[in-house]
Amino acid sequence: MKKLLHFLLFVSILGTTMSAYAVERGDPLKGQPAVRKRVLYLPARFEVTPSLGVSFLQDYRHSFLVGAKAEYHLNDYLSFGFSAHFSPVSMNTGLTDEIHATLPNQLEDDTWVNPTPSKDAMMDALNEIKLVMGPHITYTPAFGKMGLFSTVFFNFDVYFFGGLGLVMFEAGDLTPYTDTPDEYRQTVGDPDREPKLHIIVKEENGGMRFGPQAGIGFHFYLNSWMAINAEFRWMYIKRNAAGFDRNGDKTEPESINGLDRDWVIVDSKDESWENTMFFHFGLSMFFPQFAPRSN
Amino acid sequence: MKTWAIVLSALFATWTLTGVTAAHARGADDDIIMEEDDTSKPAEDTPTDATDPAATDVTDTTDPAATESTDAAAAVADDEKSLKKGDDEDARSYWSDIKVVPRKLILKQNRVELIPYMGVTLNDNLIRHIAFGGEFGYYMSDAMSIGVGGHMYTKQQTDRAYLTGLQQRVLPTLNQYLYTATLNVNYEAAYGKFAFHNKKILQWGIFLSGGLGVTGTEVIPRNAAHEPWTNMNITIQVGAGFRVFINQWLTLWGGVRNYMMQDKFENSNRTQPEADVGEKNAAARFINNLVFQVGVSVFFPTSFEYTTFK
């Protein structure tokens, strides 16, 4: 009996001691930062990023962009900024080339029956992105380091941003290819009259458009104050890229030479919301240049 | 009486030892609190090597593979202060089982990978395809795998396909994709890790992919009265993607692959409704079919043993 009591006491002492030790010791890393002694690239720093960009998944014209982004980082996670990019150059998409190759060189003789646009009319009607800009707020939730082919190692971070997007479109110009009811009346019956499209452009497909923008980007750090910046930007903008009517609205029919004639109306009602996407590639510079380390 | 004396002595010893161990633990916690105090010191107090990205080290505080790991350099630096406080032996034993570099979460060599995925075609303004498929691969090494993959497509004609007819009065010539199957070689070119809010460590990799296979397509006649026909095109696949490792057998997987082929389209002057005549006069064109794919990858066997020391 006494031996049993001694044994139980021993077990009690041992168990209490071990459990107390385990509970009190805990996980030494619990609540601690995952990374220590890391370079603090972002907090309280100003970032300037000159960059080149290109639109993609466009229907008719790809725009090449040149511009810059300015951003102030409040802390490791949050920043706000403004970006602006100008498009000096653009190029046709594959779809544009396909359509262009199919269209006739001249308008059809009877454009009441066959209003197919000519090659030039189709190209001149397209609108084109000239300026892309807008304010945004950025959230940088993650950072890390990576090895490329196990030889090159560098730090990076990934960020998401959202804000207001502003896009300025250069309008297409269908005027040389269209007539109005008055112009038509004056030339009807003239055997030398040039064929025209019977379209009234009430509102051009150019000007400034607003919409939401969002995106994701990466900084690949070269040193404490320079980084390669790759960014994907999505904007949702209302536009009429082709420059022709899409909703079928027309003027009231009027009798000309004994025939009822109506004109197709092109206006802002022919616009639709479209995804407009860009890829930017730039060099980020952070100021002040010194980046401290965390503890 | 003697027995009761033993019991009382034992209980006293129990309480005393519990207090000692708790004090020991609190002493260790004090060491950690000291680190936080250090953050208020000027940055010049700590050596800075901003140009050496590899100098930054990462610790996973929640991950099974990395809870054993931390930045030993930081730990040692902080421990120096505790050593001065006369707590040296305890501190050393406290951090001694913590490793510098977390191990790879997944070792892939000699394992097979199954990837169910879905995708969407990116680069056709007039017709969009949604793809559902999978890939099966075998890892010859930790970086390289060979496998076979394939998917079926469902088509969606876009607004632009309709508007092209309305606005430019042109009927587009379109083919729809039916399926793609390729033999692939994948190579994990980059491997990295990132910290989410400086709390959770995730490991990820970038892979490059190449392959050879076939893609089935079907002509969509411009004239509904004309017969369609199907093509089977030799396909070259190149692509790149990424994966984020979740545990020892599961990753989130995504990528963009370009399936390149010489496809046959309806001739723009087609007048005969018969499919064989249309196919005979078909117009050939080289096609880049970009597909964005996302899925999960599951490794079998689902567990493995590390063959090297921590």
What mean pLDDT do residues B238-250 have? 92
Q: What is the CATH number of domain A36-287?
A: 2.40.160.20
Kindly report the nearest CA distance between residue B200 and chain A, in angstroms.
7
Cβ distance A9 to B18 less than 8 Å, yes or no, reads no
Residue B128 scores a pLDDT above 90: yes
Whether the Cβ atoms of residue A1 and residue B22 lie closer than 8 Å to each other: no
What mean pLDDT do residues A224-247 have? 95
Distances (CA, A) of B29 to A150, B72, B307: 37, 17, 34
Residue A267 scores a pLDDT above 80: yes
The residue among B270, B154, B159, B259 whose CA lies nearest residue B213 is: B259
Kindly report the nearest CA distance between residue A288 and chain B, in angstroms.
13
What mean pLDDT do residues B71-90 have? 48
What mean pLDDT do residues B296-302 have? 92
What mean pLDDT do residues A242-260 have? 91
Whether the Cβ atoms of residue B139 and residue B113 lie closer than 8 Å to each other: yes
**B5 in contact with chain A, both atoms CB, cutoff 8 A:** no
What mean pLDDT do residues A22-42 have? 76
Kindly report the nearest CA distance between residue B101 and chain A, in angstroms.
12
Comparison of pLDDT for B110 and A69, the residue scoring more = A69
CA closest to B33 among chain A residues: A32
Q: Tally the residues of chain A.
A: 295
Q: Tally the residues of chain B.
A: 310
The DSSP string of chain A is: -HHHHHHHHHHHHHHHHHHHHHHHH--TTTTS-SEES-B--STTEEEEEEEEEEEES-SSEEEEEEEEEEEEESSSSEEEEEEEEEEEEEEE-HHHHHHHHHS-SS--S-TTT--PPPHHHHHHH--EEEEEEEEEEEEEEEEEEEEETTTEEEEEEEEEEEEEEEEEEEPP--GGGB--HHHHHHHTT-TTPPP-B-EEESS-S-EEEEEEEEEEEEEEESSSSEEEEEEEEEEEEEE-SS-S-SS--BPPPEEETTEEE--EEESGGG-EEEEEEEEEEEEEEEESS---B--
Comparison of pLDDT for B71 and A182, the residue scoring more = A182
Cβ distance B61 to A34 less than 8 Å, yes or no, reads yes
Comparison of pLDDT for B158 and A152, the residue scoring more = B158
One-letter amino acid identity for A225?
W
The Cα A272–Cα B163 span in angstroms is 12
Residues of B in contact with A290 (CB under 8 A): 50
- Residue B290: what pLDDT? 96
One-letter amino acid identity for B92?
R
Comparison of pLDDT for A29 and B166, the residue scoring more = B166
**A247 in contact with chain B, both atoms CB, cutoff 8 A:** no
Residues of A in contact with B34 (CB under 8 A): none
Residue B293 scores a pLDDT above 70: yes
Give strand pairing partners of B296: B252
Whether the Cβ atoms of residue B151 and residue B117 lie closer than 8 Å to each other: yes
The residue among B70, B129, B122, B120 whose CA lies nearest residue B96 is: B70
**A151 in contact with chain B, both atoms CB, cutoff 8 A:** no
Q: 3-class DSSP state for residue B89? A: helix
Pairs across A and B, CB distance < 8 A: 200
pLDDT tens digits, residue range A58-85? Answer: 999 999 999 999 999 999 999 999 999 9
CA closest to B169 among chain A residues: A116
Lookup result for tokens 């083919």: B175
Buried b (16+ CB within 10 A) or exposed e, B116-128: ebebebbebbbbb
CA closest to A248 among chain B residues: B166
- Residue A192: what pLDDT? 84
**B95 in contact with chain A, both atoms CB, cutoff 8 A:** yes
Distances (CA, A) of B18 to A22, A33, A106: 11, 30, 98
Q: What end-to-end distance do the CA atoms of chain A give, in Å?
A: 58
Whether the Cβ atoms of residue A49 and residue A282 lie closer than 8 Å to each other: yes
Residues of chain B with pLDDT > 70: what percent? 66
Task: Find the largest Cα–Cα distance for chain A.
Answer: 130
- Residue B108: what pLDDT? 84
Distances (CA, A) of B291 to A17, A106, B111, B296: 61, 38, 26, 16
Best of B164, B169, B191 to substitute, by most chain A Cβ atoms within 10 angstroms, is B169
- Residue A282: what pLDDT? 98
**A288 in contact with chain B, both atoms CB, cutoff 8 A:** no
- Residue B59: what pLDDT? 41
Q: 3-class DSSP state for residue B59? A: coil
Residue A143 scores a pLDDT above 50: yes
B222's tokens:
């411009």
The Cα A245–Cα A269 span in angstroms is 9
**B189 in contact with chain A, both atoms CB, cutoff 8 A:** yes
- Residue B46: what pLDDT? 38
Residues of chain B with pLDDT > 90: what percent? 46
Residues of A in contact with B51 (CB under 8 A): 223-224
Residue B34 scores a pLDDT above 50: no
Whether the Cβ atoms of residue B203 and residue B192 lie closer than 8 Å to each other: yes
- Residue A197: what pLDDT? 94
What mean pLDDT do residues A119-144 have? 96
**A275 in contact with chain B, both atoms CB, cutoff 8 A:** no
Of B46, B60, B94, the CB nearest to A293: B46
Cβ distance B73 to A37 less than 8 Å, yes or no, reads yes
- Residue A127: what pLDDT? 94
Best of A11, A56, A146 to substitute, by most chain B Cβ atoms within 10 angstroms, is A146
**B197 in contact with chain A, both atoms CB, cutoff 8 A:** yes
Comparison of pLDDT for A20 and A218, the residue scoring more = A218
The residue among B257, B22, B310, B202 whose CA lies nearest residue A19 is: B22
Boundaries of every domain in chain A: 36-287
Whether the Cβ atoms of residue A76 and residue A133 lie closer than 8 Å to each other: no
Q: How would you classify the pairing of strands A61-73 and A45-56?
A: antiparallel
The Cα B238–Cα B208 span in angstroms is 8
A68's tokens:
């810059």
- Residue B52: what pLDDT? 41
What mean pLDDT do residues B11-23 have? 50
The Cα A131–Cα A128 span in angstroms is 9
What mean pLDDT do residues A143-158 have? 83
Cβ distance A145 to B50 less than 8 Å, yes or no, reads no
Q: What confidence category does residue B68 fall into, taking pLDDT thresholds of 50, 70 and 90? A: very low
Q: What is the CATH number of domain B112-300?
A: 2.40.160.20
Of A32, A149, A246, the CB nearest to B189: A149
Backbone CA torsion sign across A175, A178, A184, A189: positive
For A50, how many CA atoms within 13 A lie in the half-sphere containing its CB? 0
Whether the Cβ atoms of residue A250 and residue A263 lie closer than 8 Å to each other: yes
pTM over 0.90: no
- Residue B50: what pLDDT? 37
What mean pLDDT do residues B250-276 have? 94
Rounded to 10 degrees, the C-alpha dihedral A146/A152/A154/A159 comes to -60
Cβ distance A294 to B53 less than 8 Å, yes or no, reads no
Q: What confidence category does residue B9 fall into, taking pLDDT thresholds of 50, 70 and 90? A: low
Distances (CA, A) of A178 to A92, A201, A254, B45: 24, 9, 17, 75
- Residue B102: what pLDDT? 64
Q: What end-to-end distance do the CA atoms of chain B give, in Å?
A: 54
**A272 in contact with chain B, both atoms CB, cutoff 8 A:** yes
The Cα B239–Cα A46 span in angstroms is 36
B304's tokens:
């493995």
Residues of B in contact with A17 (CB under 8 A): 14, 17-18, 21
Residues of A in contact with B169 (CB under 8 A): 114-117
The Cα B241–Cα B220 span in angstroms is 32
Residue B90 scores a pLDDT above 60: no
- Residue B305: what pLDDT? 77
**B122 in contact with chain A, both atoms CB, cutoff 8 A:** yes
The per-residue pLDDT of chain B, averaged, comes to 77
Lookup result for tokens 């996980």: A27
- Residue A294: what pLDDT? 85
Distances (CA, A) of B236 to B113, B185, B209, B210, B257: 22, 12, 11, 8, 10
The per-residue pLDDT of chain A, averaged, comes to 90
Cβ distance B50 to A224 less than 8 Å, yes or no, reads yes
Boundaries of every domain in chain B: 2-95, 112-300
Cβ distance A6 to B6 less than 8 Å, yes or no, reads yes
